[in-house]
Every structure is written in C-alpha cells, then in structure tokens.
Amino acid sequence: MMEAVTQGLFIQCLARVNSSTAPCRGCHRNSLGKITAKTRQMEKEAKELFRSYLTHQGLLTSDLRRLCDEAVPWFPTENITDQPKVVMLQELYRTLVHTKDALENIRKQQQVLSTPGAALLGKLQSTQWAVRGLLSNTGCALCLKGVSPNSRHTPERPAATNAFQQKIDGCKVLGNYSKFLEKLARGLGKKAPQALRDQRKRRKGTKRKGGSSHS
C-alpha cells in the first residue's frame, strides 16, 4: 500500500515538473538580452511608422497632432524599467498583448482606407511581426523565471463610427507605442552594462569553483 502511494506521489511530482518546464522549451537563456537588442531596433521603426501614418492620413497639422498625443489607457505612463525585473516583464507582456491586438485592428482599417499595396500597410505588417517576436521573447524571459505572464483585461473602447475617428484612434495608438518603446529602450540600455557586469561575475565565480575542485 505504502509503495503504491509513494509511486503515485512520484508520478504526480514528475508530471508537475514536466508541465512547468515544457513551455520554456526553445527559449534562449539570455532572453532579456534579446529583448534589449530587439527593443532598440523596434524603437527606430516605431518612429518611422508613426511619421508615415501621420503623412499618409493627413494628420500633420498641429491641431490634429495634439489629438494624436492623447494617452491610451493600456500604455504605462511611467517607464516600466524602473520596476523590479519580474514586474517589468509582466507589464511589458501585458502592453504587448494589447499592442498586438490594436495593430491588427489598425491594419484592417487601413486595408479599407488605404490604396492596395500602400507602403503604410507594409510597415504595419512588419511592426506586427516585430511585436509578436518581442512578445515571444518576453514570454520566454518570464517562463525561465517561473512566472506567469500578466495579461489583465483592459475594457475596450467603443469602435470608431467614422473614418476620421478611426484615423485618430490609430495615430493615438502608434504615437503612444513610439513613446513607450523610446522609454523602454532608454531604460533597458542603462541596465544593460550592469547586467553584463553581473554575468561576467557569475562566470568568474563558476570558473573559480571549477578550478578549486580540480586542485
């Protein structure tokens, strides 16, 4: 009887370990480093996309630009890199989930508002791929820390009823997205040198332990 109970507990424990590690398969150990590098590249592309959108939609006047500067509720107002690492990654994941959905909505709107093959559509598509990639890297970074992603639901704003409002909603998202990435890239850039120093210290510590074990 005791042997059967012990065997059952072992199987449950093994299943729990397998289920917790399986989602991290294929994840790069330095996922945070990949996030930093990708964010730096995406920041430049986000600025180009925002400028392209404003030009394409005729929103370059100061009055219209002010409308585009209005906040979008699900974008963080502060720089999330000031938060503890796990909280930062959870906030990044949550923001990227909403950004991915918003970009898909903008792209669908532009398929109606833009001429077929417009350069703006190509930039939107490329941005969607980049956001999905960063979302994947962020999910990996969380998984490797044994933390679940934070994707709290944000109440959706009522759908725009006319083409002009669609354009304004789109420029708000893209403007806030560009600012968000700028803060993120700046914050991660400041943390990168310290992270590299910490990594080197860990490597030196490992080498010393290995050397002492051989002696």
- Counting residues of the chain whose pLDDT is more than 70, the rounded percentage is 72
Q: Classify residue 88: in a domain, yes or no.
A: yes
Q: What is the pLDDT of residue 25?
A: 81
Residues in CB range of 39: below 8 A, 6 or more apart: 134, 181, 184, 185, 188
Q: Classify residue 152: in a domain, yes or no.
A: yes
Q: Classify residue 163: in a domain, yes or no.
A: yes
Nearest to 151 by CA among 82, 81, 73, 74: 74
Q: Classify residue 178: in a domain, yes or no.
A: yes
State which residues form the domain around 93.
29-192
Q: What is the pLDDT of residue 11?
A: 40
Q: Classify residue 4: in a domain, yes or no.
A: no
Q: What is d(CA 200, CA 8) in angstroms, rounded to the nearest whole number?
A: 43
Q: Classify residue 73: in a domain, yes or no.
A: yes
The better pLDDT of the pair 94, 201 is held by 94
How does pLDDT run across 67-78, given as a tens digit for each residue? 999 999 999 999
Joined together, the tokens standing for residue 171 give 């420029």
The better pLDDT of the pair 206, 127 is held by 127
User: Which residue pairs from 149-157 have beta carbons closer than 8 angstroms and sit at least 24 positions apart in sequence?
Assistant: 149/90, 149/93, 149/94, 150/90, 150/91, 150/93, 150/94, 151/93, 151/94, 151/97, 152/94, 154/73, 154/74, 154/98
Q: How confident is the model at residue 160 (pLDDT cuts 50, 70, 90)?
A: low
Q: How confident is the model at residue 20 (pLDDT cuts 50, 70, 90)?
A: very low
Report whether pLDDT(157) > 90: no
Tell me whether residue 37 is exposed, middle or buried, using C-beta atoms within 10 angstroms of its C-beta: 0 to 12, 13 to 18, 19 or more: middle
The better pLDDT of the pair 212, 117 is held by 117
Q: What is the CATH number of the domain that holds 175?
A: 1.20.1250.10
Q: Classify residue 11: in a domain, yes or no.
A: no
Joined together, the tokens standing for residue 49 give 């996309």
Q: Classify residue 181: in a domain, yes or no.
A: yes
Q: What is the pLDDT of residue 16?
A: 37
Q: What is the DSSP string of 130-186?
A: HHHHHHHHHHHHHHHTT--------PPPPPPSSHHHHHHHHHHHHHHHHHHHHHHHH
Give me the number of domains the chain comprises. Answer: 1
How does pLDDT run across 102-122, given as a tens digit for each residue? 999 999 998 888 776 688 999
Single pTM value for the model? 0.77
Q: What is d(CA 174, CA 118) in angstroms, rounded to the nearest whole number?
A: 17
Report whether pLDDT(125) > 90: yes
Q: What is the pLDDT of residue 75?
A: 97
The better pLDDT of the pair 6, 168 is held by 168
* 3-state secondary structure at position 215: coil
